Chain A
Amino acid sequence: MEKINIESTPKTPSISFDFEKGFLEIKGRSIPENSIEFYKPIVESLEKYGSAPNAITTVNIQLEYFNTSSSKCILDVFKKLESIHKGGNQLVINWHYEQDDEDMLEAGEDYQAIINVPFKMIQIAE
């Protein structure tokens, strides 16, 4: 499988997905009007990756802003990760939030409550 490297734009985050290393990172802001279209490729690659995943998968989520339209798509991404984890593979989601950004921390906790995968909340300096 090819590596995925998507550059960030004012409305969409950068996404890098290295299958061999089992590393996925979503970073920046995610506020597109049509988030389904944007997240479709990554949800599809995760589907493929899920058929033969690495023993260890690391996921870094470092979002500055995300809209509610993206929140559903991010959940779809997390659901794919959940099924990989369910299959007996080690997986962790590192949820980054800026110091004082309680809304972003709370958003991470919302996902943690819905998705059955280990989450690590990581505070970053502003």
Chain B
Amino acid sequence: MMLDIYDFYDKMERNHILLSFKGDITSELLTSILQIMESKLENLQEEPKVKKKVYNVLVECLQNLYHHMDEVDITTSDKTRSAIFMIGKLENKYTIITGNYIRAENVKGLDERLAEINTMTPVELKEYYKKVLANGEMSAKGGGGLGMIDIARKTGEKLNYTFMPIDDKYSFFSLNIKIS
């Protein structure tokens, strides 16, 4: 199959994508991506406030992908361990889009958790964050279930997400975050 690379380029250009990646999410990759994005934010001469917010939300989004990789069974095909993310900027809004496979049995739980976060006001989110921080259990790798709450809190926007069923075992989860 021949890929039409110009088609990719054109789509990314039209969507104002600054950076995109598809593949395994490793710690080294995240270090590089964060360094690249930091210098891009510097070059775009963003206000320190915007720069910090974008950087913070980016860290949470990318580390969500990283921690999620651990949940996927290593013995399954490489396909399900791979993820995608894109970072774009249109006018003064940054967009971070992530996509990853999720086991079908975990869809309901995640959906409910995110829907609950989306019902909360900023004040409720703050209280919820503190409650989970003070009482929540932390996974062995350090994921504490705070990431999504933090993203909702810092962006001040509802979490925009979808699940697309792929087969009996997997769905594809996508998250579209806007930061202004």
* A110, B133: Cβ atoms closer than 8 Å: yes
Closest approach, in angstroms, between the C-beta of A13 and any C-beta of chain B?
14
Question: Considering only CB atoms and an 8 Å cut-off, how many residues of chain A contact the other chain?
Answer: 28
Identity of the chain A residue whose Cβ is nearest the Cβ of B35 in the assembled complex: A10
Note all chain A residues with C-beta closer than 8 A to B66: 33
Closest approach, in angstroms, between the C-beta of A124 and any C-beta of chain B?
12
* B129, A110: Cβ atoms closer than 8 Å: yes
* B138, A36: Cβ atoms closer than 8 Å: yes
* A67, B63: Cβ atoms closer than 8 Å: yes
Question: In this assembly, does A100 line the interface, its C-beta being within 8 Å of a C-beta of chain B?
Answer: yes
Closest 7 CB pairs of A and B: A68-B146, A69-B142, A35-B142, A72-B144, A114-B134, A68-B150, A72-B138
Q: Can you pick out 23 interface pairs between chain A and chain B where the beta carbons lie within 8 Å of each other?
A: A32-B142, A33-B30, A33-B66, A33-B67, A33-B142, A34-B141, A36-B138, A65-B52, A65-B59, A67-B60, A69-B63, A69-B146, A71-B144, A71-B146, A72-B142, A72-B146, A75-B134, A98-B48, A100-B48, A100-B49, A101-B52, A102-B49, A103-B56
List the interface of chain A (C-beta within 8 A of B): 10-11, 31-37, 65, 67-69, 71-73, 75, 98, 100-104, 106, 110, 113-114, 126
